[in-house]
């Protein structure tokens, strides 16, 4: 687009949940726990937006399915590794330019702590 308008499009998908087996503790690896992912995906939405043609955008059902599968099947020690796998999978999809992924351990097994632990990563294609 060369009409003087700066373009920064993104697609946000939040609340992707899956029961998985990522964690350092043996119980996390055997019993599992809930994880949640929020994504902000950078991509050019101008063609899809002007034509109303879904094929020119990103099939977000595919994104949700891929992330959910990773949450449920990947066996990692750290949420940092699991989130790296998620970023790599999303970034491999055309026409994705970049992704910010927040992976949350919904009930971290920390004594006396009822909060959530999350890791946020931002990855993009080289310019």
- Which CATH number do you get for residue 34? 3.30.1130.10
CA dist., res. 4 & res. 30, Å (int): 55
Instruction: Classify residue 111: in a domain, yes or no.
Output: yes
| In a domain? residue 1 | no
12-21: pLDDT as tens digits: 999 999 999 9
- How many domains does the structure of the chain reveal? 1
* pLDDT number for residue 56: 83
Q: What is the pLDDT of residue 14?
A: 98
pTM, two decimal places: 0.90
Q: What is the mean pLDDT of residues 64-76?
A: 97
Residue 3 belongs to a domain: no
Residues spanned by the domain of 53: 10-124
Cα dihedral 42, 47, 53, 58, rounded to 10, equals: -20
105 is catalytic: yes
In a domain, 90, yes or no: yes
Q: What is the pLDDT of residue 1?
A: 47
Instruction: Please enumerate in sequence order all residues whose Cβ is within 8 A of that of 120, keeping only pairs 6 or more positions apart, or say none.
Output: 100, 101, 102, 103
First to last CA, the chain: 17
φ and ψ at 91, to 5 degrees?
-65, -25
Res. 2 pLDDT band, cuts 50 70 90: low
SS3 51: helix
Whether residue 5 lies inside any domain: the answer is no
In-domain check, residue 87: yes
- Which entry of 57, 90, 103, 105 is annotated as an active-site residue? 105
The CA R_g of the chain, rounded to the nearest whole Å, is 17
- Tell me: pLDDT of 10 over 90: yes
pLDDT, tens digit, 9 for 90 and up, residues 29-45: 999 999 999 999 999 99
Counts of helices then strands in the chain (DSSP H, E): 4, 4
């Amino acid at each position: 687009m060369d009409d003087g308008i700066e373009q920064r499009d993104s697609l946000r998908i939040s609340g992707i949940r899956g029961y998985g087996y990522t964690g350092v503790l043996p119980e996390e690896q055997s019993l599992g726990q809930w994880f949640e992912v929020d994504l902000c995906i950078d991509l050019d939405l101008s063609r899809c937006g002007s034509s109303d043609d879904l094929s020119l955008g990103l099939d977000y059902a595919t994104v949700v399915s891929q992330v959910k599968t990773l949450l449920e099947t990947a066996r990692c020690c750290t949420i940092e590794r699991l989130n790296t796998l998620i970023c790599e999978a999303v970034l491999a999809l055309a026409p994705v330019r970049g992704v910010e992924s927040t992976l949350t351990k919904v009930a971290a097994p920390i004594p006396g702590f009822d909060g959530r632990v999350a890791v946020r990563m931002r990855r993009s294609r080289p310019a």
